Amino acid sequence: MALRGVRGAVTVPCDDKESILHSTADMLRAAIERNGIRVEDIAAILFAVTQDLTAAFPAEAARKMGLDKVPLLDFVSPGIQGAMNRVIRMMILWNTPVGLEQIHHVYLGEAARLRPDLSGEGILP
């Protein structure tokens, strides 16, 4: 069994708590479902938000989904000029026998433009 990373990103319509928590939950659900991830196999989940998202911590959405025993950590992304705004990025660290080529990364909404090479089936409206 190996430790693998599942990447994801989602854009948030506005900087309010409900939008941040809802968008984070959508991204997490999609990644967990598409990869068949069992909660007990998650080593940790890391979240990074752009500097314009200040109304809530994405980890709160994970706790509300029942991931309260999983180590969760929030970060602020560097303020890179010209970067996409209102983005939540995530990495799920997951213990699995699944090979790298079988992992389904999830990029939702406008965030699909960040990694079109990984977005594939992860693109949702």
Position 119 scores a pLDDT of 60
Q: Which two tokens stand for residue 17?
A: 């708590």
**Domain-located, residue 76:** yes
Q: What is the pTM of this model?
A: 0.91
**Domain-located, residue 124:** no
Pick from 17, 81, 79: which is nearest to 54 by CA?
A: 17
Position 52 scores a pLDDT of 96
**Domain-located, residue 37:** yes
Query: Domain containing 87: what range?
Result: 2-116
Question: Running DSSP on this structure, what letter comes out for residue 83?
Answer: P
**Domain-located, residue 125:** no
* Residue pLDDT tens, the chain, 125 long: 899 999 999 999 999 999 999 999 999 999 999 999 999 999 999 999 999 999 999 999 999 999 999 999 999 999 999 999 999 999 999 999 999 989 999 999 888 888 777 665 444 43
Q: Where are the alpha helices (DSSP H) in 2-124?
A: 17-35, 58-64, 116-119
Q: Look at the chain and count its residues.
A: 125
Q: Give me the number of domains the chain comprises.
A: 1
3-class DSSP state of 16: coil
Position 112 scores a pLDDT of 84
Position 54 scores a pLDDT of 97
Q: How many CB atoms lie within 10 A of CB 34?
A: 16
CATH number at residue 68: 3.30.1330.40
**Domain-located, residue 25:** yes
**Domain-located, residue 121:** no
CA angle in degrees (0–180, nearest 5) for 71-72-76: 150
